Structure 1
Amino acid sequence: MRRLVNLRPGRGSALVLGALPFFALLLVYLVASDLRLSENPSDKMLPALSSFADAIRQYATEPDQRSGQVLLWLDTQASLTRLGLSLLLGAALGLVFGIATGALPYVRAGFSPFIATLSLIPPLSILPILFIVFGMGEVSKVALILFGIAPFLMRDLSMRVGEIPSEQIIKAQTLGASSWTLITRVILPQLLPRLLDSLRLSLGSAWLFLIAAEAIAADEGLGYRIFLVRRYMAMDVILPYVAWITLLAFALDWSFRRVNRRLFPWYSGKNA
């Protein structure tokens, strides 16, 4: 039947429809920028595209006079290092505690209330505590991101363990599987693709906590640079940095999705 709910765009149409909001936003920006610059050529709120090009060239290709390094790549390396370490530690903690609380009733009784409580604490509220305990260095920044994503990963993976059909657990035990064998041969293989999905879902929060930590206490990083230049109202630097962060986040999300499809095709097919 020809109803809107039954009409599906082709691949080309889907690409066009997906690009339309971006073109519309760009058009609105160009019109608004032209109007503001016509009234005040020195306006910094909505700079022209040429200003963006100059700022990108300066930050992405020219060494900084003070440090001698190219700032965009210096900031990118610093931020991705902090983010990558936090995701790696969060994945390890999420997997260990997720499996333990999901598969072992005694561990679940002991740790689930504690993990649930941790997940309800706003991570940014403990940032001053982290700075006091760990100082203003890298540890406190990684700890903030880790505190923000690890409880979510633990709870999500624990629930996924509970969704494993009980028939599989019973059959494995009937065949003589020990608790360790159940975890390594039945639970873990089914949990690894879900871990990648959970990491994808936590990327937004991880970036938020990273930018917040860098804005408060850092001397390099994407968040640090944005908050450094805001005092000069340098929108020609801030907006490209925001766009670059968005592109990096999209690339990480796409990478997790591709790895999941490559390593666990059965999982991708099940969720298609």
Structure 2
Amino acid sequence: MGRRIINRHPGKGSALFWGALPFLAVLALYVIFSALRLAENPNDKLLPAFSTIADTIIRLAFTADSRSGQILLWADTLSSLTRLGLGLLVSTLLGLLLGVGTGLIPYVRAGLSPFVAVLSLIPPMAVLPILFIVFGLDELSKVVLIVIGIAPFLVRDLAMRVEAIPTELVIKAQTLGAGTWQIIVRLVLPTVWPKLLDSVRLSLGPAWLFLISAEAIAAQDGLGYRIFLVRRYLAMDVILPYVAWITLLAFCMDWLLRAANRRFCPWLERGAS
């Protein structure tokens, strides 16, 4: 039985190698095809050389723009992260408040559950023009798009987590004299908090998607705005670093949320060990 591949586990060094292998393969393929295209056409823009990309990164990240006087990469990053952070914060608060209320209190469940279910089925991008009309083209419409896109998912997911709490625990808490608020603080929140952070982690991808889409349509700065601004010039030396930077930012946010789960919910680690 021990010889079967499903029973073999890589060591730390081996796991690092296998994890890095797909990235190295993609980089190798890029280098090969870039060299082939540039050999045929030195002015090819589709797969620029790494030297060209490096020069562009230096210009975007360390040189002030002649028109605005800003360093574009950091100015765009600050604008996008501000919008994304506000959208995630509001969505998380709504998910926590409405999710706990919907999952625990029958009257709230009867009143909100159908509405949230219908709201979660509306494609957020379909209402983007409505948001621009109602809230204008400034920051609010972009934040509201993120909230509409991920808050219903957080509410429904957290409500299901609350409903999954064994009824016996709730009954025992009431038998011991706990009120509704005490049940929420001492039983529900410690139980669902890790699930909330995991749900926010799963929402990072859609949140970035909604942000980039909104910035591409109506914005004066931001990572999505810059990508769609230069696409008409086929400036892949700008687009590729921006896409890689967005991916790195999303990875760091995911890592921070996982670290927060380990920090504030240490019982998860003990339960898994």
Q: Does the alignment reach a TM-score above 0.5?
A: yes
User: Which residue in the other structure is 1:61 paired with?
Assistant: 62
User: Which residue in the other structure is 1:92 paired with?
Assistant: 93
Tell me the CA shift for residue 268 of structure 1: 3.8
Is structure 2 residue 27 aligned with structure 1 residue 26? yes
Distance 1:271 1:110, change over 3 A: farther
User: Which residue in the other structure is 1:75 paired with?
Assistant: 76
Residue range with higher mean Cα deviation, 178-187 or 91-100: 178-187
Tell me the CA shift for residue 271 of structure 1: 5.3
Distance in 2, matches of 1:136 and 1:79, equals 15
Letter in structure 1 aligned against 2:101: A
User: Which residue in the other structure is 2:127 paired with?
Assistant: 126
User: Which residue in the other structure is 1:216 paired with?
Assistant: 217
User: Which residue in the other structure is 1:147 paired with?
Assistant: 148
User: Which residue in the other structure is 2:176 paired with?
Assistant: 175
Distance in 2, matches of 1:106 and 1:269, equals 36
Distance in 1, matches of 2:41 and 2:269, equals 53
Give the secondary structure class of the aligned counterpart of 2:248.
Answer: helix
User: Which residue in the other structure is 1:48 paired with?
Assistant: 49
**1:204-253 CA distance string (max 9 Å, x none):** 00000000000000000000000001111000000000000000000000
Give the secondary structure class of the aligned counterpart of 1:67.
Answer: coil
User: Which residue in the other structure is 2:138 paired with?
Assistant: 137
Residue range with higher mean Cα deviation, 82-91 or 184-193: 184-193
Distance in 2, matches of 1:157 and 1:229, equals 40
User: Which residue in the other structure is 1:265 paired with?
Assistant: 266
Is structure 2 residue 221 aligned with structure 1 residue 201? no
Distance in 1, matches of 2:244 and 2:185, equals 41
Residue range with higher mean Cα deviation, 175-184 or 84-93: 175-184
Letter in structure 1 aligned against 2:197: L
Letter in structure 2 aligned against 1:114: F
User: Which residue in the other structure is 2:192 paired with?
Assistant: 191
Letter in structure 1 aligned against 2:219: A
Runs (4+) of structure 1 exceeding 4 A deviation are: none
Distance in 1, matches of 2:193 and 2:63, equals 42
Distance in 2, matches of 1:266 and 1:96, equals 23
Residue range with higher mean Cα deviation, 182-191 or 237-246: 182-191
User: Which residue in the other structure is 1:103 paired with?
Assistant: 104
Distance in 2, matches of 1:256 and 1:187, equals 20
User: Which residue in the other structure is 2:228 paired with?
Assistant: 227
Tell me the CA shift for residue 165 of structure 1: 1.6
Query: CA contact under 8 A between 1:260 and 1:268: conserved in structure 2?
Result: no
Tell me the CA shift for residue 179 of structure 1: 1.5
**1:162-216 CA distance string (max 9 Å, x none):** 1112121011000111112211221122222211111101000000000000000
Query: CA contact under 8 A between 1:52 and 1:236: conserved in structure 2?
Result: yes
User: Which residue in the other structure is 2:8 paired with?
Assistant: 7
Distance in 2, matches of 1:167 and 1:60, equals 57
Give the secondary structure class of the aligned counterpart of 2:65.
Answer: coil
Give the secondary structure class of the aligned counterpart of 2:64.
Answer: coil
What number of residue pairs does the alignment pair up?
272
Q: What is the RMSD of the two structures over their aligned residues, measured on CA atoms? A: 0.9
Tell me the CA shift for residue 270 of structure 1: 3.4
Letter in structure 2 aligned against 1:18: G
Distance in 2, matches of 1:270 and 1:78, equals 40
**1:73-96 CA distance string (max 9 Å, x none):** 000000000011111100100001
Letter in structure 1 aligned against 2:157: D
Query: CA contact under 8 A between 1:124 and 1:209: conserved in structure 2?
Result: yes
What is the TM-score when the length of structure 1 is the normalising length? 0.98
